[in-house]
Structure 1
Amino acid sequence: MNSVMKYILVVVVSALVITSGIVLYSIYKQSPSGDLNYISVVYQNGTKQMINLNNSNSYLIRPDNYNGSTYSFSTPVVKIVSLAPSITSTLYGIGAYDKVVGLDPYSTYPPNSTLPIVTSNSGFDISLEEIANISPQLVISPGLGYYPANEENSIVNTLHIPFIVMNPENVQQIENQTLELAQITGTTGNATLINAWMQSNLQNFSQHLVNISKELNVFYYLSTPGDWTAGNGTFINEFFTLAHLHNIAANESGYYVDSGENITVGEPQIILLDQYVNYSSITVPPFKSTPAVKQNRVYTIFNDNFFNEPDFRVIYAIGWLISKAYPENFNLSDISQYPISLQYPPDYNM
């Protein structure tokens, strides 16, 4: 289960709970007023680095009775708990995985991790006991409201461990997140190389698509039951834009259940199936009469973590989309080599 699938499950459960008269914590986790966008870290050589988390749409939860405008770490950050697959992947990609001491259960890259899992209840709750046992200097969480606010606040105000919520919403903010995590861990040089690699490939995509005048219509079948899809304001919608595709579900925002009208009216020429959606789902109306089904242009994405997790590996997701939509213009081999040497390269498990 990736972050978006977990988000969908949280939405469904929340709807059931709310209709039962029970209040559940917020689905969308936005920066509360008063939380901190600036942190200061110190490196082994004694130099300090100021970091503006706002550049990646992120923040540090303000501890009770903390009146400063910047949270300062007095010692180098060498023990981090990652509660998001995208954070784990980025820390590995920038060469800072040796500083990770605990994970959420959905972090699969790098594979074969032996690090302790610090969540419970199938990943829906943070185990405060595990966090206390590990005693990290920093906990980093995604920003989709995965974890109850009381658990986050207990980490901050009972265990006195800093807690950052990272919530990048587009490719530029993903690059900023990469840089910020590198600044925290002292691997800024690697982040600079990675962001340059991302920009170079995005420019390469654009050059390969420059002669395509009309976008193809696309529908992303994200999950069942119900025809869950991704609308405006989602990562996948930005990927479609960068891949010169028109998302027929972009007339609504966020992740939602499509009524079928978009599919009938939009006539998708390409349908993307999440890896957990069975092909039989599109052999019935309104899908079976679409140009995508008639022309056999239905593709199952290779690994939804590449599409739904906000980290540098989205370059492979966008490249794959272009290679499927416009195979005469682009091939996956056109993506340049990742600039950092890793035991498991970022295209692992594609």
Structure 2
Amino acid sequence: MKRLAAIACLAMSAIFATTPAHAAITVTDDSGAPVTLDRPAARVVSLAPHVTELLFAAGGGARVVGAVTYSDYPKEAQAIPRVGDNKALDLERIVALHPDLIVVWRHGNAARQMDRLKALNIPIYFSEPRHLDDIATSIDKLGALLGTQASAHAAADTFTRDIAQLRARYAQQPPVSVFYQVWDDPLMTLNRDNVFDEVIALCGGINVFAAETPRVPTISTEAVLAANPEAIVTATPGATKPDRPLPALERWRRWTSLTAVSRGNLFGIDGDLINRPTPRLALGAAQLCRDLQTARERRPK
């Protein structure tokens, strides 16, 4: 407790070291709580890789003084000092960086660590975009907190435009049933309560496990066979080529009666493009849309 109290005192001295010279800024974060700053944030700590991307997109990359492991995009983010990962944070290192804003992943950072962060009395913004529209909104809100509204709004508009163009091109195409494989052992997927389900629909696809619970349900091989998806998609470590085997999906090749297998519709997409709710999701969506169009073209004439 003494150690935590000392950290808290250090944090408070960092916050009140200077007198505010700007009008207060207030935005609502993804938990529904108001976040108020006396002035635009000048020193920000990011506690999730997607948060780091959003901060750079909002024009505040130069203000990010600390980030967690795997905050690797854009390239400049790789040089930011590390303050742990989403499971173990270095609170002393965070306080020593004198942040005036900490941006966390609402459900990704451990609750116990969140309680300790809150005790530091440093403003915290909870980030967890759950819908495609939330990504643009998040960029705008972070831009407001950073005082980089113009850059943020331009990035948000670009993402919104890219998504709208994909929707106009593919959403009304003949539907393709899709199984998105999150993990292969145990076998896991996503239900409708997430951004990627919207991406599937954007491309004219239908998530065959949309109605399952919880958000990341564990399913059986038999359930996939019964659903008989026309396409199976998974995240890969980096971009894949059409002729490159996908180890995570090899398990399905024995089921030659499965439509996705018989037609060769086993697709891999760079995980960073589809697992992070950032502007790069538009790139992942474009790839999925192309893959599902390929599945349509492979239908028997």
Equivalence for 1:21:
none
Structure whose residues are more often helix by fraction: 2
Contact 2:35–2:125 under 8 Å retained in 1: no
1:159-170 to structure 2, matched below 5 A, reads 159-170=120-131
Tell me how far apart the structure 2 counterparts of residues 71 and 274 of structure 1 sit (CA, whole Å): 34
User: In the alignment, does 2:262 pair up with 1:273?
Assistant: no
Equivalence for 2:220:
259
User: In the alignment, does 2:28 pair up with 1:52?
Assistant: yes
Aligned positions, number: 267
State the SS of the aligned residue for 2:197: helix
Structure 2: 5+ residue stretches without partners? 1-19, 238-246, 297-301
State the SS of the aligned residue for 1:76: coil
User: In the alignment, does 2:187 pair up with 1:247?
Assistant: no
- Which of the numbers 78, 81, 85 marks the counterpart of 1:116? 81
Tell me how far apart the structure 1 counterparts of residues 132 and 164 of structure 2 sit (CA, whole Å): 13
Tell me how far apart the structure 1 counterparts of residues 281 and 100 of structure 2 sit (CA, whole Å): 29
User: In the alignment, does 2:296 pair up with 1:323?
Assistant: no
Q: TM-score, normalised by structure 2?
A: 0.81
Tell me how far apart the structure 2 counterparts of residues 189 and 318 of structure 1 sit (CA, whole Å): 26
1:308-347 to structure 2, matched below 5 A, reads 308-327=275-294
User: In the alignment, does 2:64 pair up with 1:96?
Assistant: no
User: In the alignment, does 2:47 pair up with 1:83?
Assistant: yes
1:1-350 to structure 2, matched below 5 A, reads 46-53=22-29, 57-59=30-32, 72-111=36-75, 113-119=78-84, 123-149=86-112, 151-157=113-119, 159-209=120-170, 212=173, 214-253=174-213, 254-275=215-236, 278-285=248-255, 288-301=256-269, 303-327=270-294
Contact 1:59–1:164 under 8 Å retained in 2: no
Query: What stretches of structure 1 move > 4 A for 4+ residues in a row?
Result: none
Tell me how far apart the structure 2 counterparts of residues 118 and 194 of structure 1 sit (CA, whole Å): 27
How far 1:210 sits from its partner (Å)? 6.0
Spell out, residue by residue over 1:232-259, the C-alpha distance to the aligned partner (whole angstroms, 9 max, x if none).
2122111111111011111203112112
How far 1:168 sits from its partner (Å)? 1.7
How far 1:216 sits from its partner (Å)? 0.7
Contact 1:125–1:148 under 8 Å retained in 2: no
Tell me how far apart the structure 1 counterparts of residues 295 and 233 of structure 2 sit (CA, whole Å): 19
Equivalence for 1:9:
none
**In structure 2, do the counterparts of structure 1 residues 132 and 50 end up closer, same or farther at CA, with 3 Å as the change threshold?**
closer
How far 1:263 sits from its partner (Å)? 1.6
Task: Please identify, of 249-258 and 97-106, the stretch whose mean Cα deviation from structure 2 is larger.
Answer: 249-258
Tell me how far apart the structure 1 counterparts of residues 44 and 131 of structure 2 sit (CA, whole Å): 24
Contact 2:231–2:266 under 8 Å retained in 1: yes
**In structure 2, do the counterparts of structure 1 residues 84 and 198 end up closer, same or farther at CA, with 3 Å as the change threshold?**
same
Tell me how far apart the structure 1 counterparts of residues 136 and 172 of structure 2 sit (CA, whole Å): 28
Which letter maps to 1:136? P
